[in-house]
Amino acid sequence: MGWGIKMHNYIFSEIPNDEKGQAFLKELKTFLNSDSYKIRVKGQYLKDSEKKNQGWKKYDRGQPISKSKCLRIYIDDIRGKK
């Protein structure tokens, strides 16, 4: 943007971390213009079983995808950054 404003660039959120969500992510990566954009995937919402057993404190920088209920997908514009 050029105005010094930090925008959230997550495009998709609350994607279930299951077979259907993983299939969606795979298809998205297949058709992404990787010369211009990059995908980052982060975990969203700690699984109830993990929350009960370990709690949030163990993951001060975000939990691993394997311990997440959902996924959040960030799409970064990399044009001119290579």
Residue pLDDT, tens place only, 24-47: 999 999 999 999 999 999 999 988
- Does a structural domain hold residue 42? yes
Domain range holding 34?
Answer: 10-54+63-77
- Does a structural domain hold residue 5? no
Please give the pLDDT value at position 31. 95
69 touches 16 (CB < 8 A): yes
State the number of CA atoms in the 13 A half-sphere of 22 facing the CB: 7
Q: How far apart are CA 80 and CA 35, in angstroms?
A: 10
Q: Where are the alpha helices (DSSP H) in the chain?
A: 19-31, 48-53
For the chain, how many structural domains are there in total? 1
- Does a structural domain hold residue 20? yes
Q: How far apart are CA 34 and CA 6, in angstroms?
A: 23
Q: Over pLDDT 90: what percentage of the chain?
A: 49
- Does a structural domain hold residue 38? yes
- Does a structural domain hold residue 73? yes
Q: Which residues pair with 70 in a beta bridge?
A: 16, 44
- Does a structural domain hold residue 4? no
